Amino acid sequence: MLLKIPIEYKNFIINHAKNDVPNEACGIIHCLDGKPSNIYKVTNVADSPYRYEMDGIEQLNLEKKREMSGEQLFAIYHSHVATEAKPSPTDVRMAFFPPGNFDAEPMFDNIFYILVSLENEIPDVKFYSIKKGPEVLEIDVNFE
């Protein structure tokens, strides 16, 4: 599977991650007809270099916005300030509800989890899907 993503989305995520150093940054991408349509920064209420938790009210408002616009949830992104661009065991656990309930379907079955790493001088952005099991798959992405 090769996913085509406008380069503006990659740049937005990297800039957000850099601006929020030393803390992790997080946000949400909406899509229309399967194509990214909007990207939103969401406040990391954990305010931490090691973890993120999206502001619930902002999360709820974005869900309402999707209902109004007909858009769907496309991806959730967050940054790793000093580790690789790969979902951590905590990230995978939190993809399920209740957390770690790997026998169930994940909370979001058909979305992408985007990780941006600031570990090296050139930021690394990678897309993943997380499935029951848990199964974590990296998705090939062409930024264009």
Partner 1 sequence: MSIKVRMAAVIQKLTNNQKEFDSEGSSVNELISNLEKQFPGFKAQILAEDNQVHQFLNIYVNDEDIRFIANLDTEIKDGDTVSFLPALAGGN
Which residues are near partner 1 by CB under 8 A?
Answer: 24, 26, 42, 46, 48, 50-54, 56-57, 59-60, 63, 73, 76, 78, 80, 82-83, 87-88, 90-91, 94-95, 97-99, 107-108
Complex with partner 1: residue 12 or 50, whichever CB lies closer: 50
Cα 47 from chain centroid (whole Å) = 17
Minimum CB separation of residue 95 from partner 1 in Å reads 8
What SS3 class is residue 126? strand
Complex with partner 1: residue 4 or 47, whichever CB lies closer: 47
d(CA 7, CA 86): 20
d(CA 112, CA 94): 14
Minimum CB separation of residue 143 from partner 1 in Å reads 23
Residues 6+ apart with CB under 8 A from 64: none
Minimum CB separation of residue 78 from partner 1 in Å reads 6
Complex with partner 1: residue 4 or 69, whichever CB lies closer: 69
DSSP 106: P
Complex with partner 1: residue 7 or 47, whichever CB lies closer: 47
Minimum CB separation of residue 140 from partner 1 in Å reads 22
Complex with partner 1: residue 5 or 85, whichever CB lies closer: 85
For residue 27, list its beta bridge partners: 41, 77
DSSP 119: S
Minimum CB separation of residue 60 from partner 1 in Å reads 6
d(CA 16, CA 62): 18
